[in-house]
Amino acid sequence: MNVAVHIFNVLIFFLGESLSEPSNKKFPENFKFGVATAAYQIEGGWADDGKGVSVWDQFAHTYPDRVANGDNGDVACDSYHRYLEDVEMLANMGVNHYRFSLSWPRILPTGYTNQINEAGVTYYKNLISALKENGIEPFITLYHGDLPQTLQDIGGWPNPLLADIFAEFARTAFSLFGDDVKNWTTINEPKQTCITGYGLGNSAPGAPASGIGEYDCMHTLLRAHAKAYHIYDEEFRATQNGRVSIVLDTAWFEPASDSEDDIEAAERALQFEHGWCAHPVYHPDGNYPQVMIDRIAERSQKEGFSKSRLPEFSAEEVDYIRGTFDFLSLNTYTTNLAKWTTDHEIGTPGYYADLSVSTYQDPSWNGSAWIKVVPWGLRKLLNWIDQTYDHPEIVITENGYADDGRLDDPDRINYYAEYLTAVLESIYEDGLNVTAYTAWSLMDNFEWTSGYTIKFGLYQVDFENPNRTRTIKSSADYYKNVIANKCLVDTCEE
């Protein structure tokens, strides 16, 4: 019996018979497994060797009361100094790829290309080299939340000028690292950046402009992504032979009942939560989802605005953004129930008022915090994406489970077993083109406004120890064996 199956059997003993048996299908030979991190969440070295200040540096230092326990990423996992330990952990698990992000202000301290920080460039070149030496493909995200503060000082992402500034950063990164990197994503979870940073303002940079800021932010981010894609396509693809996408996140939204109202509410939630960023890039028609265009225009008019709060793309912009992907990247963690509600009263504008859907989770679902273990939701989401966006290749770029950081973590093992089963079912029973799975996260890290209070890692990090000691968890052993055998059980069907 392989170790993965032994661990799963022990898990069933401790958690009872509620667990479903994992699939006995073997993953396709070309299926890839990896893990993910992000620069601000692990690197530390926040002011080392010429790095500029990011919006998260500024936010965590200025508003410590807005982050759990006043935590920040000044040191985090100290990966800036301990990246070789990270590579050793990756090699031990046998992952095919490692998804990490570049710190924009570590490479361009001013945010602009007038000053390139050679120490930052050397750090990433050394990391990439160490990965390649261990047979691990670097999978780089250009932007994962840490905008240079200098660019926030001119308005941040709602300022349309940032599309061109980001495009120059992307060109610089492709030039510096592209010979050794074949998988790129431009922007991670633009929805989260826009809603929490510029709509609600409860996350960095903490610039609330509810009902306006989040839409202006997304408008710029989508243009920024498209510019970066076209730069790669026109200037680098022929020689570097890589691929480019944008990373979008969503939960699955299940109708709370079989009523027409709740079915409509669930679809509307998917269009607002995923389609808002996905439709312009992945849908054959391009542009924002029609339900968003119509609802926000109607509500804006009732609120007294002279035009819709949702910016409008020109026909040329729709064409320019549409199709700017080589695969579809998906971050997803859980499922919500969606219930139709009477439209929010006209008053203070806001994204959630425009959405006007009540979402919640079934109290009978197992899980922790906001992550409930609902693997059938993942399968439904993958099918919805396949049907909505004309059968793209789907790469799962984040999926994982949060707990308190314990070394013996059967709940995380269960989560992986059940969600990977859903992936296998989507491949073999539904015929979907899902080609890779990326676990969040390699190790416990700084989880944004939750600080270090929740842990997603396959490795534990001792944040009280100046050495930031890493210790392997049971889930890492489980994942290691899944990767080695491409199998969730003792004997898999070919």
Q: Which amino acid is at 409?
A: D
Q: Please state, in angstroms and rounded to a whole number, the distance separating the CA atoms of residues 391 and 83.
A: 37
Token pair listed for 365: 């679902």
- With CA atoms as reference, report the closest residue to 7 among 492, 424, 489, 379: 489
Consecutive H or E run containing 472: strand 470-472
21 counts as catalytic: no
Task: Classify each residue of 454-479 as buried b or exposed e, where b means 16 or more C-beta atoms within 10 Å of its C-beta.
Answer: bbbbbbbbebeeeebebebbbbbbbb
Q: Please state, in angstroms and rounded to a whole number, the distance separating the CA atoms of residues 40 and 387.
A: 35
398 counts as catalytic: yes
Q: Please state, in angstroms and rounded to a whole number, the distance separating the CA atoms of residues 164 and 417.
A: 43
- With CA atoms as reference, report the closest residue to 187 among 77, 329, 56: 329
* Active-site annotation holder among 189, 214, 273, 447: 189
241: left (phi over 0), alpha (psi -120 to 50) or beta: left
* Active-site annotation holder among 398, 418, 425, 447: 398
Name the one residue in this structure whose structure tokens are 């009263």.
Answer: 345
Distance from the first to the final alpha carbon of the chain: 18
Q: Please identify every residue annotated as catalytic.
A: 189, 398
